C-alpha cells in the first residue's frame, strides 16, 4: 500500500522536539502570567470576513495566503492565518471589553495557517504564541508588551535579540504618507512586479514589503514615514522610546518597518535574531499597536497592542544554539519485570508510584535481557531501576537500584514510596 505523506509546508513534531515545544510554550505562558495576562483559546476556524476585514484586503495574507473554503453549508470559512483578528472578534462578540478595568490582557497559543512558499523558518502550518492588551491608549501600554516579549526571549536564553522599532503614525499621517508614496512610485510602477502594481492601487504601503530584488532597489529611494507624522504621533513615539530607554530595553529604529498587516497604527516592532552559528532567522516575533481593528469588527473603538512569536523559529534557534540541552525528559524509575508473570506485578508497582507517589515511571514490556533493560533505562535518563523477579513477587518486594550510585537493595512494596521520597528529599536539600 502506498505511504501517505504529510501535506507540503506542514511538519510532524515528535520525540525530543515535543519536549522543546512544551518547554518553550510553558515558559512563554508562565511569563505572560507574571505580567497578568490570561489565556484564551479562540477557534481555528473563523468566518473569512474576520480576516478580510480585520487583517485587510491589501495584505498579502488576505490576498494570497489564506486557506479559505466553503463548508458543506456554504459558509465561507478560513483557517486562521493569525490570531489578532480572531481574538478581537471574540472580544467583541462576548463583550469582554465591558469590564471595570482595561486593558484586557489576553495570551494565546496554537497553530496558524498561511499558504506561503515553504523555506527555512517558513511553514504553511506553524504555531504562534502571543498576547493582546486591549482598551488602553497609553504608549506605556505598548512598552509593557514590548518588555514582556523581550523578557520571554531573554528567559529562553536568546542573547542579542534585536528589537526593530518604528511608527506608522495615525490615520492622518498614513494618508499623507500614502499620497507621497503614490507620487514616488508613479514614476517606477510600470517597471515593477505585477504584485506591486496591485499594491499600488490597493495600498502603496504594501510595496515597501516587496521581496523582488529589483523592486527593493526602487523601494530604497522611497520617502520615509517619519517626514509625514502628525505632531500627536511624533509625541507618542517619543514617549515609547523614552520609556524603553528608562527601562534599559535596547532597540533600534528601522524607518522602513511597515509590517504586512493592515490593522496597525502608531508603534510597530519586530524581534530579530541571528543564531550563534550566524544563521539569520529574520523575525522570531513581531507586533504593534492597532487603533481601529475592534471597530472594523463591529465593536467599540478601543485600541490594542500585541505581539506574536513564531514558535518553530524559536525552537530552531534554540536547537542551533544548544539551548535545549537541559530539557531532556527524565524518568524517576524504570521497572524491569524479569518474566511474563512479573508484568502485571510490575504494572501494579508502577501505578502505585505514579498515582500515590507522583513519580514518573515507565515499565519494560519486552521479554529482553536485563543488560538491555539497563541500556534502555540509561537512554530514558532513569534515576532508579526497579527489578522484579519471582522471588520479589513472593516477598511483596522489589530490587531498587540507584543508577547513579550503582547501589541496590531489596525494598518492600509498601515501603517503596518512602524510600524514593527520602532519596529525592535529600537531593533537594
* Min separation Cβ 349 and ligand HAM, Å: 44
- Using CA atoms, how far residue 282 sits from 111, 162, 271, 313, in Å, is 20, 10, 8, 9
Beta carbon nearer to ligand HAM, 163 or 286:
286
Site stretch for ligand HAM (CB under 6 A), options 25-33, 117-125, 205-213, 334-342: 117-125
For ligand HAM, the binding residue among 283, 335, 373, 382 (CB under 6 A) is 283
Question: Does 123 participate in binding ligand HAM (rule CB under 6 A)?
Answer: yes
State how far the Cα of 171 lies from the Cα of 167, in Å rounded to an integer.
12
Residue 157 contacts by C-beta under 8 Å, 6 or more apart in sequence? Answer: 318, 321, 323
Beta carbon nearer to ligand HAM, 61 or 324:
61
State how far the Cα of 287 lies from the Cα of 271, in Å rounded to an integer.
9
* Min separation Cβ 249 and ligand HAM, Å: 18
Question: Does 320 participate in binding ligand HAM (rule CB under 6 A)?
Answer: no
Question: Does 122 participate in binding ligand HAM (rule CB under 6 A)?
Answer: yes
Question: Does 25 participate in binding ligand HAM (rule CB under 6 A)?
Answer: no
Beta carbon nearer to ligand HAM, 268 or 382:
268
81 to 100, contacts with ligand HAM by CB under 6 A?
Answer: 82-84
For ligand HAM, the binding residue among 130, 139, 169, 303 (CB under 6 A) is 130
Asked if the bond preceding 415 is cis, omega within 30° of 0, the reply is no
Beta carbon nearer to ligand HAM, 185 or 307:
307
**Element housing 93 (H / E):** helix 84-93
253 to 282, contacts with ligand HAM by CB under 6 A?
Answer: 261
Residue 188 contacts by C-beta under 8 Å, 6 or more apart in sequence? Answer: 218
Residue 374 contacts by C-beta under 8 Å, 6 or more apart in sequence? Answer: 385, 403
- From the list 343, 379, 383, the residue with the least C-alpha distance to 363 is 343
Other beta carbons less than 10 A from residue 172's beta carbon: 13
* Min separation Cβ 394 and ligand HAM, Å: 58
For ligand HAM, the binding residue among 114, 199, 206, 401 (CB under 6 A) is 114
Amino acid at each position: 500500500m502506498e505511504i501517505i505523506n504529510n501535506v507540503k509546508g506542514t511538519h510532524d513534531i515528535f520525540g525530543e522536539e515535543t519536549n522543546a515545544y512544551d518547554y518553550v510554550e510553558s515558559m512563554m505562558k508562565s511569563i505572560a502570567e507574571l505580567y497578568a495576562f490570561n489565556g484564551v483559546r479562540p477557534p481555528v476556524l473563523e468566518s473569512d470576513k474576520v480576516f478580510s476585514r480585520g487583517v485587510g484586503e491589501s495584505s498579502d495574507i488576505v490576498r494570497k495566503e489564506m486557506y479559505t473554503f466553503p463548508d458543506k453549508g456554504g459558509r465561507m470559512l478560513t483557517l486562521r492565518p493569525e490570531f489578532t483578528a480572531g481574538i478581537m472578534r471574540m472580544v467583541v462578540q462576548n463583550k469582554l471589553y465591558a469590564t471595570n478595568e482595561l486593558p484586557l490582557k489576553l495570551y494565546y497559543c496554537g497553530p496558524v495557517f498561511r499558504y506561503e512558499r515553504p523555506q527555512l523558518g517558513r511553514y504553511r502550518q506553524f504555531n504562534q504564541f502571543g498576547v493582546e492588551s486591549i482598551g488602553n491608549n497609553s504608549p506605556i501600554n505598548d512598552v509593557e508588551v514590548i518588555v514582556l516579549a523581550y523578557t520571554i526571549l531573554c528567559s529562553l536564553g536568546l542573547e542579542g535579540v534585536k528589537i526593530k522599532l518604528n511608527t506608522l503614525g495615525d490615520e492622518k499621517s498614513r494618508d499623507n504618507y500614502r499620497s507621497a508614496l503614490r507620487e514616488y512610485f508613479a514614476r517606477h510602477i510600470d517597471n515593477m512586479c505585477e504584485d506591486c502594481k496591485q499594491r499600488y492601487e490597493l495600498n502603496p504601503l504594501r510595496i515597501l514589503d516587496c521581496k523582488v530584488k529589483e523592486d527593493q532597489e526602487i523601494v530604497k529611494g522611497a520617502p520615509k514615514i517619519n517626514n509625514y507624522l502628525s505632531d500627536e504621533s511624533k509625541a507618542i513615539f517619543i514617549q515609547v522610546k523614552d520609556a524603553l530607554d528608562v527601562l534599559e530595553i535596547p532597540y533600534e529604529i528601522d524607518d522602513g518597518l511597515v509590517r504586512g498587516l493592515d490593522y496597525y497604527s502608531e508603534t510597530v516592532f519586530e524581534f530579530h535574531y541571528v543564531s550563534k552559528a550566524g544563521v539569520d532567522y529574520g523575525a522570531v516575533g513581531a507586533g504593534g499597536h492597532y487603533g481601529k481593528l475592534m471597530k472594523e469588527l463591529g465593536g467599540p473603538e478601543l485600541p490594542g497592542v500585541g505581539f506574536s512569536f513564531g514558535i518553530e523559529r524559536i525552537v530552531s534557534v534554540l536547537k542551533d544554539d544548544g539551548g535545549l540541552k537541559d530539557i531532556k525528559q527524565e524518568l524517576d524509575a524504570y521497572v524491569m519485570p524479569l518474566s511474563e508473570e512479573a508484568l502485571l506485578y510490575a504494572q501494579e508497582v508502577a501505578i502505585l508510584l505514579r498515582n500515590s507517589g507522583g513519580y514518573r515511571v515507565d515499565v519494560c514490556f519486552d521479554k529482553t535481557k536485563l543488560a538491555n533493560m539497563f541500556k534502555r533505562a540509561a537512554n530514558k535518563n532513569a534515576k532508579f531501576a526497579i527489578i522484579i523477579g519471582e522471588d520479589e513477587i513472593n516477598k511483596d518486594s522489589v530490587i531498587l537500584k540507584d543508577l547513579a550510585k550503582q547501589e541496590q537493595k531489596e525494598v518492600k512494596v509498601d515501603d517503596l514510596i518512602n524510600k524514593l521520597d527520602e532519596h529525592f528529599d535529600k537531593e533537594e536539600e
